[in-house]
Structure 1
Amino acid sequence: MDIVIMVGQLILGLTILVGLHELGHMLAAKWFGMRVEKYAIGFPPKVFSKKIGETEYMLGLIPLGGFVKISGMVDESLDTESLQQEPQPWEFRAKPAWQRLIVMMGGIIVNVITGIVIYIALTYNYGESYLPASEARYGVVPNEIGQQIGFQTGDRIVAVNGKELEKFDDVYSMDMLLGRNSYYTVERDGKRVDIQVPANLMDRLADNKERMLFVQPRVPFRVGSVVPNSAAEEAGLQAGDYINTINGESVKYFHELQETLKKFAGKPVTIMVERNDKPVELKGEVNEDGTLGFHQEPLLQYATRDYSIGEAIPVGTGQAFGVITANLKGFGKIFRGEVSASKSLSGPIGIAQIFGDTFNWFKFWSIVGMLSMVLAFMNFLPIPALDGGHVVFLTYEIISGRKPSDNFLENAQKVGMVILLGLMAFAIFNDVFKIIF
């Protein structure tokens, strides 16, 4: 069932995005009087089709893309038979270059609009929940990667790139992780220390199961709810208890409790708790997996902010274009050799894993909004067979007044298809490789 939910979200997300992208091309083409022969979501074999007017609307079995077939256009179908005849008024090639350019930009424009609308809607409907930097006053706990960077347990992050930290999530911002010469400023033993962000940090994080959580706030806690028939219940733990020590070892923060329980896994322990401002001694036994069986109640206060529609528009728009900026910075790091392409690029399997095996509307639309902006960015790349390749040729035609020959466009399309198929094969193989190894 988990895999079904994961794959279902992937198919639904791609269907929405590809359908809207191709719709942008089709509507622009029809607006300028071009004949649209086919509008397809998914690739053959055909699952369903219906012809309305001059256009066949098709749903394909392979949900990894889609296409619009416009008369008189050299596209991925490589159907050039009609190009041997004189151009007809309804054909793509018979229209002015500026109209053809708008048609090729139609999908990209719709994807950008879709991404912006999704981010605005999420911002308006859900607002923002965040941990104020002031609540992270107990410092941080670095994992292995955080320690390699230079963080120490208890460091309190006060600034990022010289700017005072207001929201703890800004520690993980793409500006920090993908920027050049980024650095954190921490308070340590009463002094301020700068910690440089390595250029290859994203590469290291790609190998880490905890991904970007290379540092996390230290969390003071108390017992929230006790699992029935658990070791915690047998020991006498109650909701509201503050656990002070396990076998004499201080466990003021939750990460200290986890580390200590793992140390005494399967062994009897003495638990000192504070209950109603009084010390209480309890006896119990830690489970073999290093747990007791209760839910923690973190003692950090998260803040929430609601946005009016007027406030949500610039905030959501900024978040949408932030995806484009992050992609540009990411490609820059790949080209400079600071980040491995194999660790940074994902295919359909990797995207499905991002959706996850549980369904949540906020997460689903957040991912769809992000993918919409990524799709717009990728399609704008100047690769033949992508919209960006067509845009390059049409821009050349508009500026020079000379149209590339149909033979040149056909050969360029073939080269582009080879590149795209190679990239797709690499992405799928890379996804499988990551799972196996």
Structure 2
Amino acid sequence: MGITIIATIFVFSVIVVIHELGHFMTAKMTGMQVDEFAVGFGPKLISHKVGSTVYSLRLIPLGGFNRIAGMTDTEQAMTAVRRNKCFISKSLPARLLVMAAGALMNFILAICLLWGVFFVAGTVQISPEPIIGQTINGSPAARANLQTGDRILAIHGEPIYQWQDIGRVLSKHQKDVVTVTFKRQGKEETAHLIPETDASSQRQIIGIYPVEQKQRHGFLQAGKLAAFQVGHLSGFMVQGIYQMVTGKAKADLAGPIGIAQIAGKAASVGFADLLVFTAFLSTNLGIVNLLPVPLLDGGHIIILLVEAIRRKKLPARALVYVQTAGMVILGALFLFSMFKDITRLF
């Protein structure tokens, strides 16, 4: 439990603070007044004012936030000096940059994390051969005495030629006793076991990992590979969101509980795995924040573009309706993801 809590705080703090740092830096660059840059939420523990900005550390270490003048204040309530440095007084490109910078920083963070992991630890290549690289303690495979190096030949009479064939065949035998035929040191043997259902993926598993081979990379090669991986992952996520929205794929979201569980598992394997998961979640946050949903950065960008086309601000009542719709959408997604997390637990 302890490692899960620490890993969750680390992951959320890093990706949210870096996201807010993107808004902060671009706001400063474009001459906007940032009233506060906070790490954490809740009551202040420490605060210090530098120039016109208060930098604070708060009690709940799960992210952070910016208070940029003009994003919540009304223009009439500002002084002339403050009005000149507020968000709404700046040019459209400046405001678009500030709104997009958070997501951009998330992508940069993901690339930097993967770059470091790929350069220091290398990458792992998964062998397509149906050879057991490792068994999980207490799993059906371990109880059936399957061992590292065993080559699986058949499951329940169906030939196994590649590692991916294992999952395909097991999916047909939920709660069935299956016979696994394997070769060990040149001798063909059999084992009998019952597959289990994985809580997160709902797939049938027997508790085995494939053979892994590490590959080292030079500094520039690692950076290139990291950028490619983040780009590929972003495209995959966008496609997944599109399929869920259009009903072509089942909506399967992870909420705070699910993320905490995954973070804890990653941290228990090693710090490099936790960094890889942080990169994955940072990419996810970048994509989600650019969605055209009110209250998200993407929603703000759409509003800015609409106002630019209209050459005037949206009516206050329209903004209230838009923000209310955004709250409903985000609230529904949060409740749905929490429901999915709870159903996975049981």
Same fold (TM over 0.5): yes
Distance, in Å, in 2 between the alignment partners of 1:111 and 1:35 is 23
Equivalent residue for 2:96?
101
Q: 1:81 to 1:89 in 2, by over 3 A?
A: closer
Equivalent residue for 1:334?
244
Q: Which runs of 5+ in 2 are unaligned?
A: 132-149, 175-179, 195-207
| Larger helix share, 1 or 2 | 2
Match of 1:366 among 273, 276, 288: 276
Distance, in Å, in 2 between the alignment partners of 1:372 and 1:43 is 19
Give 1:410 deviation, angstroms. Answer: 4.5
Give me the TM-score of the superposition, normalised by structure 2: 0.75
Match of 1:34 among 8, 32, 51: 32
Equivalent residue for 1:15?
13
Equivalent residue for 1:155?
160
Matched to 1:25, the amino acid is H
Match of 1:59 among 57, 60, 68: 57
Contact 2:45 2:58 in 1 (8 A): yes
Matched to 2:49, the amino acid is K
Q: 1:433 to 1:141 in 2, by over 3 A?
A: same
Matched to 1:121, the amino acid is G
Give 1:355 deviation, angstroms. Answer: 1.7
Deviations for 1:371-414, whole angstroms, at most 9, x for unmatched residues? Answer: 11000001001111110011111222344433324553354334
Distance, in Å, in 2 between the alignment partners of 1:425 and 1:45 is 26
Distance, in Å, in 1 between the alignment partners of 2:332 and 2:153 is 43
Contact 2:154 2:182 in 1 (8 A): no
Q: 1:305 to 1:86 in 2, by over 3 A?
A: same
Q: 1:38 to 1:129 in 2, by over 3 A?
A: same
Match of 1:349 among 246, 257, 261: 257
Give 1:66 deviation, angstroms. Answer: 3.0
Distance, in Å, in 2 between the alignment partners of 1:353 and 1:315 is 28
Give 1:30 deviation, angstroms. Answer: 0.8
Deviations for 1:222-250, whole angstroms, at most 9, x for unmatched residues? Answer: 6xxxxxxxxxxxxxxxxxxx8x6xxxxx6
Count of aligned residue pairs for this structure pair: 304
Q: 1:426 to 1:60 in 2, by over 3 A?
A: farther
Q: 1:64 to 1:338 in 2, by over 3 A?
A: farther
Contact 1:381 1:388 in 2 (8 A): yes
Distance, in Å, in 2 between the alignment partners of 1:86 and 1:140 is 77
- Between structure 1 and structure 2, the one with the greater Rg is 1
The alignment partner of 1:404 has SS state of coil
Distance, in Å, in 1 between the alignment partners of 2:10 and 2:213 is 33
Give 1:338 deviation, angstroms. Answer: 4.3
Contact 2:130 2:160 in 1 (8 A): no
Matched to 1:6, the amino acid is T
Pair 1:426-2:336 in alignment: yes
Give 1:61 deviation, angstroms. Answer: 3.6
Give 1:134 deviation, angstroms. Answer: 5.4
Distance, in Å, in 1 between the alignment partners of 2:125 and 2:326 is 44
Distance, in Å, in 1 between the alignment partners of 2:105 and 2:222 is 20
Give 1:46 deviation, angstroms. Answer: 3.6
Give 1:141 deviation, angstroms. Answer: 5.9
Q: Which runs of 5+ in 1 are unaligned?
A: 75-79, 158-167, 172-183, 187-194, 198-203, 209-216, 223-241, 245-249, 261-295
Deviations for 1:403-429, whole angstroms, at most 9, x for unmatched residues? Answer: 324553354334323432332233223
Contact 1:138 1:154 in 2 (8 A): no
Give me the TM-score of the superposition, normalised by structure 1: 0.61
Equivalent residue for 1:385?
295
Note the 1:256-275 alignment, pairs <5 A: 256-257=190-191, 259=193
Distance, in Å, in 2 between the alignment partners of 1:47 and 1:420 is 30
Q: 1:388 to 1:367 in 2, by over 3 A?
A: same
Distance, in Å, in 2 between the alignment partners of 1:323 and 1:95 is 34
The alignment partner of 1:133 has SS state of coil
Q: CA RMSD in A?
A: 3.5
Match of 2:311 among 401, 419, 437: 401
